[in-house]
Amino acid sequence: MASPHRLMRWLSVALLISAAFGSAEAQARRYLVELGAAGGYTSFGDATLLESSPGALARAAFWTPFNVSLEAEVGFFSPSTRSGADWSARSIGGSALYNVGIGRSSTVFLRAGYASMSYDSDLCTGVPPRSLFGACGSSGAVTGGVGARIGLGETIMLRADGFALRSSSGDFTNLGASLGIAVMLGSKPLTDADGDSVYDFNDECPDTPAGAVVDGNGCPTDADADGVSDGLDRCPTTAAGEAVDGSGCPRDQDGDSVPDGLDQCASTPAGAAVDAAGCPLDTDEDKIFDGLDRCPATPLGASVDQLGCPGDADGDGVLDGLDRCPRTPPDAPVNASGCPSGVAPEQSSGRPGQRANPNE
């Protein structure tokens, strides 16, 4: 039996040639039907008593959209026995091939399947047929192999195969190699209308904007879930709930550094200090927001102007709003309520401790 290593080396050369023709690109066409013919050489297992022999093979395959092709193959060989008698061998089988594109029109593949091998000669007699000189009758075999198609054009390929057929009884293994031509019928160019590197026939989102990052189905990804696709999102780590502009960056209409969508007080005056919810702070509770309040430590109850500062209209040292006698004569000594000794407080227009609003 010829050395299987020699057959594998022959196929390795074919694979290297195929790689040289290819590039790192994926195949640029979608295949439907493959028809092929090849010349082959088979080394028969010792138990068959047959010498190695050239032969011919014919193939027909249907390609699925998942890089898998389903193939039927017929082989014809005319070996001689070790005693010199003429013999014939035929194979009929089916295989599944997993195909990987290595260029715009080249592929490598793995194959596995099942075949029936038939051996016949005038020396095969009886039922079932037998002979002392060589194998007779039929036997099933598990098949496997590797190969490559080298693109000679858009639809014509040079095909090289290396294969093994293991008798289902385990008695022998035939090894073989073939070289031939494959014609791809119904072949169509693969298109990518939106340019996202996912071909249209696999693209579940065929209108992806240019520049957007997509998943394996051709649909844009959005890591921060802000509605702006990755690749177009200039702020790709936006916090959940933030409203964003067309570039994916948070909006802040009132300029308080709390993004819209998280801002619970969306109309804060410019310059006002805010809390984490975007609402203005008023530490001294004088209704003038921190950041705008020029007198941020006004005592509770004192009336203030629009800058947040308290007044003292009668100049008695008791702030308006706290002064129960707001019209004390100049230089008159007053008590803590702003009233001179012996003078009754005037009727207050507000409750003690209540702020006066300068805008009212």
Residues 112 and 197 occupy one common structural domain: no
User: Are 184 and 155 in contact, with CB atoms under 8 Å apart?
Assistant: yes
- pLDDT tens digits in sequence order for the chain, 360 residues long: 444 455 555 555 545 554 444 444 456 778 899 999 999 999 999 999 999 999 999 999 999 988 899 999 999 999 999 888 999 999 999 999 999 988 778 899 999 999 999 999 999 998 889 888 999 999 999 999 999 999 998 889 999 999 999 998 878 999 999 999 999 998 887 778 888 888 887 889 999 999 899 998 999 999 999 989 998 889 998 888 888 888 888 888 888 888 888 878 888 888 888 888 889 888 888 888 888 788 988 888 888 888 889 887 878 788 878 878 988 888 888 887 879 877 777 754 444 444 444 444
pTM exceeds 0.75, yes or no: no
CA–CA gap between residue 85 and residue 139 (Å, rounded): 21
Residues 115 and 19 occupy one common structural domain: yes
- What one-character DSSP code corresponds to residue 163? E
Non-local (6+) Cβ contacts of 109 within 8 A are 69, 97, 98, 99, 100, 146, 147, 148, 149
Residue 331 lies in a domain: yes
Residues 79 and 217 occupy one common structural domain: no
Q: Is 291 left (phi over 0), alpha (psi -120 to 50) or beta?
A: left
Residue 176 lies in a domain: yes
Of 238, 273, 306, the position where a domain reaches its end is 238
Residues 120 and 135 occupy one common structural domain: yes
pLDDT of residue 181: 97
Which segments of 168-281 are extended strands (E)?
A: 173-185, 188-189
Residues 26 and 118 occupy one common structural domain: yes
Which segments of the chain are extended strands (E)?
A: 29-30, 33-43, 53-63, 68-77, 88-101, 107-120, 137-151, 156-167, 173-185, 188-189
Question: Considering only CA atoms, which of 92, 93, 34, 94 is closest in space to residue 64?
Answer: 34
Domain that holds residue 233: 191-238
Residues 201 and 342 occupy one common structural domain: no
Residue 255 lies in a domain: no
Residue 339 lies in a domain: yes
Of 172, 189, 206, the position where a domain reaches its end is 189
- Into how many domains does the chain fold? 3
Residue 272 lies in a domain: no
Residues 123 and 151 occupy one common structural domain: yes
Which residue matches tokens 């594998």?
Answer: 8
Residues 183 and 47 occupy one common structural domain: yes
Residue 262 lies in a domain: no
Residues 160 and 226 occupy one common structural domain: no
What CATH number is attached to the domain comprising 161? 2.40.160.20
pLDDT of residue 118: 94
pLDDT of residue 15: 52
Residue 310 lies in a domain: yes
CB atoms within 10 A of CB 154: 14
The C-alpha angle 21, 27, 29, rounded to 5 degrees, equals: 120
User: Are 286 and 298 in contact, with CB atoms under 8 Å apart?
Assistant: yes
User: Are 255 and 270 in contact, with CB atoms under 8 Å apart?
Assistant: yes
- In the structure encoding, which two tokens stand for residue 352, read together? 């003690």
Of 154, 189, 224, the position where a domain reaches its end is 189
Sign, CA torsion 251/255/261/262: positive
Residues 150 and 69 occupy one common structural domain: yes
Residues 178 and 301 occupy one common structural domain: no
Sign, CA torsion 259/265/271/276: negative
Non-local (6+) Cβ contacts of 246 within 8 A are 228
Residues 179 and 127 occupy one common structural domain: yes
Three-state DSSP at 119 gives strand
Residue 275 lies in a domain: no
